[in-house]
Amino acid sequence: MSVEPKLVEHLTNIGCTKQWRFVPEIKTTEQLWVNFKRILEKNNPDKLNQLNS
């Protein structure tokens, strides 16, 4: 098994919570950052609105 699948397996099971999910459609660094930003904005609207006020 290569390092990448081991890392994905480890990240999906940190602390017995599902904090990471492997998304096979994400193939580039740019796609990864777009996905990260989308999740960040979805999970933190109150904090982000405070910054824009």
Give pLDDT tens digits for 2-48: 888 888 788 777 776 667 788 999 999 999 999 999 988 888 888 87
Tokens encoding 46:
């109150």
**Burial call 10-33: b when 16+ CB within 10 Å, e when fewer:** eeeeeeeeeeeeeeeeeeeeeeee
* Model pLDDT, residue 10: 80
* Model pLDDT, residue 3: 83
Instruction: Report domain extents, the chain.
Output: 3-52
Q: What is the dihedral of CA 19, 21, 25, 28, to 10 degrees?
A: 50
* Model pLDDT, residue 52: 73
